[in-house]
Structure 1
Amino acid sequence: MNIIKLFTSFSLLTLLFNCGGSNPAANSLFEISLEGNQKKFVRNQNIAITLLNKKEKTINNVTYSLDGKTVNVSNNKIKLDVATLGNKSIKAKISYEDTTVEIEKKITVLSSKSPEIYTYEIINEYPHDIQAYTQGLEFYKDTLYESTGRRGQSSLRKIDYETGKVLQQIDLDKAYFGEGITILNDKLYQLTWQSKTGFIYDLNSFKKTGNFQYGNSKEGWGLCNDGEKIFKSDGTEKIWFLNPSTLIEEEHIETVSNKSVFNKANELEYVNGKIYANVYQKPSIMIIDATNGAIEGVVNFSGLKDKVTKHKDIDVLNGIAYHPTRKTFFVTGKNWDKLFEVNILKK
């Protein structure tokens, strides 16, 4: 009986080690070596690549791939021709002595440019509910929609932004912590934080019509859309692309600067090919290329919090909405008593 158990355990370990990813045995034989032993590169960079043959095996063929696509080797170099930035894996498929194995090398592909710095000018100030723990903010036509957070206090609101008056409100069940929202095709989508559940509302009746579950993402933070797909942040470096018909997370980008992968994107707003993302716990907003994840700019909103009433529950900047007719941004914070209309300016 003990022999059978030992054999079964050994078989399972063998199965685990030989299915998917690099084979540990292969790693003892071969290693991918990159130019300068670096791990960080930039998009479209040509880098030297060699295969270290540790045990001097007779190699028949080697093919390299990146993001699942075969890459050509020319003069012992490959081009990092990737559609998106962030964490990547270069894989080598090696045929030797009637055996084929696969190994990989983790790399990071960074933006080639440092983010530009932006500032702001205040155009108008409007009243905002000081008890609203703002998590999501979005305009539809001339009406502002807001999602608030905290369990037992979360809500979805339709607001007259000029007066701060709440026109309609739906309170979430006390089990849920409300997060980001977006509006697409007469539907409003709302995230919750850690419940892996989102809600769908009919925009005209302002009634809940359904819900959806998250996929690979563990949490719900911010939402926005480009008119075709929905973007979702989850507290990691990833921004997911959701199919608006199925709400399935089909792809993702990673938010990346010229120095590192960044994981602080919170509330989102989409404008002309860029995602504007509140930086979690910071008085700033990132401007992100919505196709490849490059952080192209950072808006410094320092000083804005000083213009609101101080009280024990006041919290950080959070909430950004673009008014397409006025072509201005509206920003506020958690438990702020003011909503600011601003222009974003290059410093």
Structure 2
Amino acid sequence: MRTLALLAALVAAPALADPLPLDAAKVIATYPHDRGAYTEGLFYRDGSLFESTGMEGRSSIRQVDIKTGTVRRKISTPASEFGEGIVDDGDQIISLTWKNGHGYRWSLGGFKRLGTFNYTGEGWALTKDAHHLIMSDGTPVLRFLDPRSLRVVKRLKVTADGNPVANLNELEYVDGEILANVWMTDIIARIDPVSGHVIGWIDVSALTKQADAGGGDAVANGIAWDAKGRRLFVTGKNWPVLFEIAPPHAR
């Protein structure tokens, strides 16, 4: 019932007369995760997870061993900034900051800072399709960026049942869909990247309960896709566990 109430609130509708598909996350495996990691961004690359964490004075970018949760490599981002989402782009990592209006380019292999770029509004999360980087900023509108210039080339408004869906946070591109954590909920939205329509929801409330992280900010956030192995990983802010769940089309 809590999940249905959340969905009704998300689409600003008093009731869901003809609700979109809602599937409970099916857990395949669990792995350790650093409880101290305030997860903002997550992606899979070459057998490792890459994770960004937030909070001023605690923000970092990390390479993490999936099976053990061990941090193999880590760099702290400027102490005055709140780190946000990350994505890989060739041999680089692109990262966002929350309210500073700029992000960074880092070397993938050594986490060396290579440059900065600017954007308007807030920075929340990043993912990519075959041609663009895709950015969320807390609004119902996703930005599609040119990977070279990092300029906005188009915008996509996300709606469910005709209503805008705000608080789109961590993103991952999976089999032609954009998956998005909806901040402060147990819901992952499945978004059509052409129309912006939500085509379904994934309910991770059982995972939130199992993680038992405590605290109002310890919400689900973090999605990573191993395309070759067809493994989908999810976690949350300060969660002590990383979950592998069945991808949407395997439910």
Q: Are 2:175 and 1:275 equivalent residues in the alignment?
A: no
| 2:162 match | 259
Q: Are 2:107 and 1:196 equivalent residues in the alignment?
A: no
**1:303 & 1:116 partners in 2: Cα distance?**
17
**2:80 & 2:141 partners in 1: Cα distance?**
26
**2:183 & 2:161 partners in 1: Cα distance?**
20
Change (3 A) 1:130 1:313: farther
Change (3 A) 1:329 1:197: same
Q: Normalising by structure 2, what TM-score?
A: 0.88
TM-aligned CA deviation for residue 205 of structure 1: 2.4
| 1:297 match | 200
**2:215 & 2:199 partners in 1: Cα distance?**
35
**1:220 & 1:282 partners in 2: Cα distance?**
19
Query: After superposition, where does 1:118-137 map in structure 2 within 5 Å?
Result: 118-137=23-42
Matched AA of 1:192: T
Q: Are 2:143 and 1:243 equivalent residues in the alignment?
A: no
- Aligned partner (choices 178, 188, 195) of residue 83 of structure 2: 178
**2:45 & 2:248 partners in 1: Cα distance?**
24
Deviations 1:261-319 (A, max 9, x none): 11121000011221000011001100001112111111011111221244558610100
**2:111 & 2:248 partners in 1: Cα distance?**
36
RMSD, aligned CA: 1.7
TM-aligned CA deviation for residue 115 of structure 1: 2.7
Change (3 A) 1:262 1:166: same
Query: After superposition, where does 1:1-347 map in structure 2 within 5 Å?
Result: 115-215=20-120, 218-311=121-214, 315-344=218-247
Change (3 A) 1:282 1:209: same
Asked if structure 2 preserves the Cα contact closer than 8 Å seen for 1:114 and 1:257, the reply is no
Change (3 A) 1:126 1:212: same
Q: How many residues align?
A: 233
Q: Normalising by structure 1, what TM-score?
A: 0.64
Could you tell me which runs of 5 or more consecutive residues in structure 2 were left unpaired when the two chains were aligned: 1-17
Could you tell me which runs of 5 or more consecutive residues in structure 1 were left unpaired when the two chains were aligned: 1-112
TM-aligned CA deviation for residue 206 of structure 1: 2.0
**Max Rg structure:** 1
**2:142 & 2:216 partners in 1: Cα distance?**
29
Of 199-208 and 307-316, more deviation after overlay is shown by 307-316
Asked if structure 1 preserves the Cα contact closer than 8 Å seen for 2:52 and 2:85, the reply is yes
SS of equivalent to 2:206 = coil
Matched AA of 2:197: A
Matched AA of 2:241: K
Matched AA of 2:45: Y
SS of equivalent to 1:303 = helix
Asked if structure 2 preserves the Cα contact closer than 8 Å seen for 1:181 and 1:222, the reply is yes
SS of equivalent to 2:242 = strand
Deviations 1:138-180 (A, max 9, x none): 0012110000000011000001111101010010111110111
Quick one: percent identity of the two aligned structures? Answer: 37
| 1:3 match | none
